[in-house]
Structure 1
């Protein structure tokens, strides 16, 4: 779930390592060279992470590699937090003196420096060992993070081997593209279907076909954002045909340049992932494209028939689910190492039942196959097959319910060595898996943007957490009672970002006697800490 954040975690660590505050800390403890070496190693690895994150979808080995890196990155974050806490503690003692009952005289600066130096070098050595394997993935260095948070940006490339069962759809679209238009307008061909059916993949396959390449003087691929403007989209098209654009370029100049580039050329434009239903915007865009030669075409991919009709009258290709045989082939490809399925005939039979419930949606088939990859216990497969998510209603412009699992499959309790776990952007997750109580080694738990979870149920959750971070949980009204079980181990508590219904912190908060760092941001209804001793051993509290 958290693999996609590897670049961001690395960026955070590097930013800290390069800050003036850390330079001063390092100088004070005599470990500047250790942290500089770590910063250099992190920067070298970070340079290929964006490329790795994009390619991992089709490479399981790369996903494992990123997970290994991310584990070490989080260890680095923990070490830096330890530095911050120690520096703050020393500052508090220097300014206010030792608090009653606290024993600080036993602190050994030399011992602390030696211990931290060993930790830093250990992290660097682990990173270098993992980084040795990056050559096999043919990664390209990139440091410009241009990903869109709301929806992933698409591109025009696809391998033929990645497309299964769409030959007829491809030929139908190409036939429409090759047919000349009857009037001076630019025909719009819409590919419509629910999320995960493969609309983008089909458009990519058509876009790269030799016949299409020969038929059009210019081919243009644009991923359309939700908040697009005609000017922004026109700039994207102009950039795709090699035109020069600037930040402050006016609409008149963009229009003139675009018409000049497209004049008397037969062009083919793909507008991928269109959501906007404002007809006036589309009319404005089409006016910019009238200079093209006869036979120019636009292909639109969208989940909505309404969007297709708004774009302009034209052929609508309704994409339906894949045949069951193709789905089973795809599922087995992602659930097993090639040929391994022959060893597990019972799992294959359960897999067939799962595939039947996927309604022919390739993304659902691939996602569930990946989820079950390397799992050979029948109960894991049965848990997916019998999950209540299958009973949810399918909406026209939504994704298949199977892609929004509300709870985790059984088996998580067997990950007894797991130290860090994150639930991020799990829109339909309504409760944490009961198996968490068996994760006795779990130290860090992150719950982020899980809109339906309130954390109130459950008494037997992790008991020895060191770090608990939550954010963007609109249903949260109180911290979970089970957090008390980590009273003697919890050191870092973050409540970050728009927990809009959290109006008060629990009276038992002072029982978290080991908390050293408390951060609360953007919880506007929260006005104060509980009365009493507060968090007696917490030198750093920040809030907004």
Structure 2
């Protein structure tokens, strides 16, 4: 709770210290109240470090922190109204007609009335903060230094396939599981092998090690991997099995069609299916899925990982394989590998001695060893090591299945701003695949990203720093970069449990049977019905709503009217034909997700009143006829994903969108041209990706104005024969492009000339599935920063340019599917 209060206090102080509020406070006669508010919040923030350490053992302190969080949230909401009014005024100044301005002045929210109302609200919230601040004295809280800024320790990122060298002490287990997989069984054509062990022992890592073993790969004709997790929905599992086997399916397939596809897939194959992290204890559900899996060839196997022995009893057809903890020697090898840079442990024998003691406390659990080693990586201060070894958290009574003390310890060591970011991840389900760009936008919507050392950094860069720090502490796993240079990752289910326990009372998952605390602010709604509606009616301070299942329009309207302080509204995978006009009243809204709303045809014009909106996701809205005419009024928009029936995205349809940092245009069947009339626009754009736009033929934007562009990607645009843009003749072109990804452009023959403007910055170049691509330019060796060059399925490419040895930064070169080149 203290971490959350600390975060809100930081946001309030950041707002009060902004240039906007300096001007407003004088002009609107609220300077005195704002100054007093700033002074009081600063004094409170200074003691929250001490409160964080003491709250676990002091119920009255926890109660005070809860009251503090509430009043600081109210203060933030009041200040946020000011920010909204500033954005509204700016939009009116830029684009408002005379008629519009007159209507605005005489509306119920005209400036004179607003000044009076806001002065009253500020005074009220200031008095409440003063009262709360006065109560803190009875706790004798000490002022402490604010947590230090995060420091990123560089190390190689992990990926979805386990490198055998990173799995220590499991060779005997691997051999035994492989023996079971190879063992024929005349009584059954498909056998189920359960692997059971406590959370954090490495069941998934072992399964991956076996799954990718050369013997296993050659033995089975078909291999599939599915995370079963908590929701053992048979239809969903069939879809995931088919996707894992690279079978293309339509999301609208009914159950009969899906079952037919699965039977057809398996009937002539000896297959291996891994069901990872199974929790289901309902035998009927398993039998329903099992019946569909028995059609494989003799010798087919299903490997199941689970923490629950009863799950293994239900599913297994051979004796359960019980996974034990690692030996002390193996744990110590893992710890040294992750805690010390190579060879450094010999320089610090005392640290190694303390490390011995720490490893013994981990009781053979690799996740515990890995997490603590990551926490201590590159630290050489003996006091930091002893504080981990001697921390009182080890003395807490722990029942089997409890969250490991080491994970709580790792959380306690996080800076305050990372604690809140970590806790908010609990809103997403177990085994959820996070994308870094979206998680950063989610954090940004709640104001969780803080500039470091008062530098003028982009919020997106700060968010990526946060993610990399969580990675370096082993709180995120299965990390890899996708084709568009976005990090993808998961949370270990124990780490997810930790996030849930931290966020309890602040974040909640809503089902028909759940019980919500009245102070809850962030909701993930898994079910619908009267019981859910009744629970929502008891709440008033909700800032996040994520609909994870279909909801009626009545629920949506009720949420919009009731929760005026919403920052995030996720309506993805819904089937709304229209959105209510009332959505324009959500002036605090930062994040709106309408992804895969296949029935929606148009957005209400009122959506353009969302001047605070930073993220708008319209991908997969295949029937969306047009963007709202006034979209340019959303002047704070930074992240836009769009699918539309437009034939041309021009200034007229896109607006100016001068704040845009990320633009993804996808699945636009009719789109023929991009950016017509957008001269000197999109100057802040850093990522531009165009996917599956089969009619696209031309790009009209002037490249010389895209000076901030870092990542550019085009994929499956079969009519796009040239990537040339205006401005390529400029010899002094200075661009910042770092990543260029081109895939599925069969008419493309050569790279654009303007790419020379990124000679000093381009790091990654990926060209794939371009059937007519013939030549790499002679200037390619001038790309001094290029470290990754990948060329695939370009059959007409016959040679590489002279002077490739000049690419001294090149670390990875991959060429495949280029037969003329390989022969030469």
What TM-score do the two structures reach when normalised by structure 2?
0.36
- Structure 1, unaligned runs of 5 or more: 1-79, 104-133, 140-153, 413-417, 430-439, 456-469, 479-494, 505-517, 523-539
Aligned-pair distance for 1:316? 1.0
SS state at 2:326 partner: coil
Q: Which residue of the other structure, out of 358, 377, 388, is the alignment partner of 1:384? A: 388
Match of 2:214 in 1: 210
Match of 1:266 in 2: 270
SS state at 1:423 partner: helix
> For 1:213 and 1:228, how far apart are their aligned partners in 2?
27
Task: Note if contact 1:384-1:409 (Cα within 8 Å) is conserved in structure 2.
Answer: no
Aligned-pair distance for 1:403? 1.8
Aligned-pair distance for 1:219? 1.3
Task: Note if contact 1:393-1:401 (Cα within 8 Å) is conserved in structure 2.
Answer: no
Aligned-pair distance for 1:87? 2.7
| Change over 3 Å in CA distance of 1:441–1:503 after alignment to 2 | farther
| Change over 3 Å in CA distance of 1:274–1:454 after alignment to 2 | closer
Task: Note if contact 2:229-2:278 (Cα within 8 Å) is conserved in structure 1.
Answer: yes
Match of 2:259 in 1: 255
Aligned-pair distance for 1:191? 0.9
Query: Which string of whole-angstrom CA distances, capped at 9 and with x for unpartnered residues, describes residues 287-340 of structure 1?
Result: 112211111111101111111111134221111111112211211222121122
Task: Note if contact 1:304-1:396 (Cα within 8 Å) is conserved in structure 2.
Answer: no
SS state at 2:195 partner: strand
Task: Note if contact 1:423-1:450 (Cα within 8 Å) is conserved in structure 2.
Answer: no
Task: Note if contact 2:393-2:405 (Cα within 8 Å) is conserved in structure 1.
Answer: yes
Match of 1:423 in 2: 420
Task: Note if contact 2:232-2:285 (Cα within 8 Å) is conserved in structure 1.
Answer: no
**Do structure 1's residue 96 and structure 2's residue 111 form an aligned pair?**
yes
Match of 1:192 in 2: 196
**Do structure 1's residue 294 and structure 2's residue 298 form an aligned pair?**
yes
Match of 2:167 in 1: 163
Task: Note if contact 1:303-1:396 (Cα within 8 Å) is conserved in structure 2.
Answer: no
> For 1:101 and 1:181, how far apart are their aligned partners in 2?
78
Match of 1:227 in 2: 231
Query: Which string of whole-angstrom CA distances, capped at 9 and with x for unpartnered residues, describes residues 351-373 of structure 1?
Result: 11110011111111111111112
Query: Which string of whole-angstrom CA distances, capped at 9 and with x for unpartnered residues, describes residues 452-493 of structure 1?
Result: 5899xxxxxxxxxxxxxx766999989xxxxxxxxxxxxxxx
SS state at 1:337 partner: coil
Q: Which residue of the other structure, out of 519, 522, 531, is the alignment partner of 1:497? A: 522
Match of 1:86 in 2: 86
Aligned-pair distance for 1:284? 1.0
> For 1:282 and 1:101, how far apart are their aligned partners in 2?
60
| Change over 3 Å in CA distance of 1:397–1:186 after alignment to 2 | farther
SS state at 2:168 partner: coil
Query: Which string of whole-angstrom CA distances, capped at 9 and with x for unpartnered residues, describes residues 421-469 of structure 1?
Result: 5434459x9xxxxxxxxxx97999x9x96755899xxxxxxxxxxxxxx
- Structure 2, unaligned runs of 5 or more: 1-79, 93-100, 120-153, 427-451, 464-497, 510-514, 525-535, 542-562, 568-585, 590-824
1:398-417 to structure 2, matched below 5 A, reads 398-405=402-409, 408-409=412-413
Aligned-pair distance for 1:100? 7.1
Query: Which string of whole-angstrom CA distances, capped at 9 and with x for unpartnered residues, describes residues 486-510 of structure 1?
Result: xxxxxxxxx9436999999xxxxxx
Q: Which residue of the other structure, out of 280, 297, 301, is the alignment partner of 1:276? A: 280
Match of 2:353 in 1: 349
Task: Note if contact 1:221-1:269 (Cα within 8 Å) is conserved in structure 2.
Answer: yes
| Change over 3 Å in CA distance of 1:471–1:259 after alignment to 2 | closer
> For 2:356 and 2:310, how far apart are their aligned partners in 1?
34
Task: Note if contact 1:451-1:472 (Cα within 8 Å) is conserved in structure 2.
Answer: no
> For 1:81 and 1:421, how far apart are their aligned partners in 2?
26
Q: Which residue of the other structure, out of 315, 318, 324, is the alignment partner of 1:314? A: 318
Task: Note if contact 2:84-2:588 (Cα within 8 Å) is conserved in structure 1.
Answer: no
Task: Note if contact 1:389-1:406 (Cα within 8 Å) is conserved in structure 2.
Answer: no
Aligned-pair distance for 1:85? 5.7
What TM-score do the two structures reach when normalised by structure 1?
0.53
> For 1:270 and 1:453, how far apart are their aligned partners in 2?
32
Aligned-pair distance for 1:404? 2.6
| Change over 3 Å in CA distance of 1:402–1:442 after alignment to 2 | farther
Task: Note if contact 2:375-2:410 (Cα within 8 Å) is conserved in structure 1.
Answer: no
Match of 1:435 in 2: none
> For 1:257 and 1:542, how far apart are their aligned partners in 2?
46
SS state at 2:412 partner: coil
Match of 1:173 in 2: 177
